[in-house]
Amino acid sequence: MKFAQALGAAALASLASIATASSPILAQYWPAYNAEQQSVSQIPWTYSSKNGIAYYFVTITTKDGFEVPADQPTSDIKKFVSAAKANGVRPVFSVGGWDGSLHFSDLVKTASKQATFAEQIKSFMDKYGFVGVDLDWEYPNGVGIGCNAVSGDDSAHLLAFLKVLRSKIGSSKLITAAVSTEGFLGANGKALSSFKPYGQYLDYINLMTYSRSGSWSSTTGPNSPLRKCSSDSSVQTAIKLWTSRGFPASKILLGVPAYAISFTTKSSSLQTTKINNKWSSKAYQPWTGVVPKGAPGDSNAPTTDVCGTKTAAYSGQWQFKDLVSNGLVSSDGMHGKNGYKRYFDECSQAPFLFNPSKKHYISYEDSRSVAVKTVYAKQQGLGGVFVFDSAGFTNEVYSSLRSSLYSRKSRRHELPALHA
């Protein structure tokens, strides 16, 4: 995937002048498994905030600790760390992920295992020059992909491990965690009454406010809704949960997805539904249950996941750049093309594309929706935002995200009734 050219020097200078060390963070996850499409040199470093965070994604858990997946060349690690530091960005490596969290529960189950795991993390960090670690456990007290080791005490063990890890690596290194919108769960399967103790050891949590709709959903819907509307969660509800349970807003980074999801609707016309007697919405449509082919390369060939589960279906996913390069939408995401019409749902504050002849519905992020999210993050006192992942957005969307994050203006004209 060809990396688009960086912002002009004048624009970059203007942005840099308002992005200080105390400014909100703009962090990015780099998909190391996708290095053929985006090399280290092609990462859009110029859009990261100074003193921001670049995540090497991902190392995966094993029975004995963690490792770099076989399809990720370790030669890229030192290149990544060096490039991040050269651009004034803090390089952090991520452990876990959807496919790589199978053994987290066992690795932190006892004090001796916690000490061993912490030592392994420190050794890896020191070996490559990382300045921190991101714990991407998906999810404590949950089977995740389907076969994760699970204990009702996972969240308690994680807290104990964080204390050990902090002691091992010291206060100058970063500890972050990619977390669920549902929070840390207790033995009863419900969110803990307080997340405050975790804030003692975590520098940031990366709130994964995406994948709120998908192949499991009863209707179509936004990938990352601002308001809950008819989705199972949202940016607003997730932030409210985490902050109401005592986790500092300033240590929360809000997730912005650079990928899109797809559905095949039952009808070639969109139905309008009323939500909370307030918004008329076309975002939630009956669909066939058939996920259409996504970006070029999306395959429905039989595959077997890490749990041994066999599937033969399209993912229906697109990187935003793929939507642009394949002629479905303009480079800022604001205009549909070639039979696709762009809609913007006022309730969820999320755009989608619809092609009536194909009955294809694609939920994505564009220049307007990323501005909405970043301004809302600022209004709520969050530490900033992160993008998953760095290979997805065009310059126009990145520019909108970054300028919204660092602009001194409120841009309230873009944010109608966000308090509701």
Residue with tokens 């179509």: 220
- pLDDT computed for residue 306 by the predictor: 97
Decide: residue 79, CB within 10 A, 0-12 exposed, 13-18 middle, 19+ buried. Answer: middle
Dihedral sign from CA coordinates of 192, 94, 30, 407 = positive
Architecture of domain 9-257+366-414: Alpha-Beta Barrel (3.20)
The pTM (predicted TM-score) of the whole model is 0.93
Q: What is the pLDDT of residues 381-401, one digit of tens each?
A: 999 999 999 999 999 999 999
- pLDDT computed for residue 415 by the predictor: 52
Residue 54 per-residue DSSP state: E
- pLDDT computed for residue 284 by the predictor: 98
Q: Which residues of the chain have pLDDT under 50?
A: 1-21, 410-414, 416-417, 419-420
Strands 259-264 and 360-363: antiparallel
- pLDDT computed for residue 23 by the predictor: 86
- pLDDT computed for residue 50 by the predictor: 82
Radius of gyration of the chain, Cα coordinates, nearest whole angstrom: 21
- pLDDT computed for residue 356 by the predictor: 98
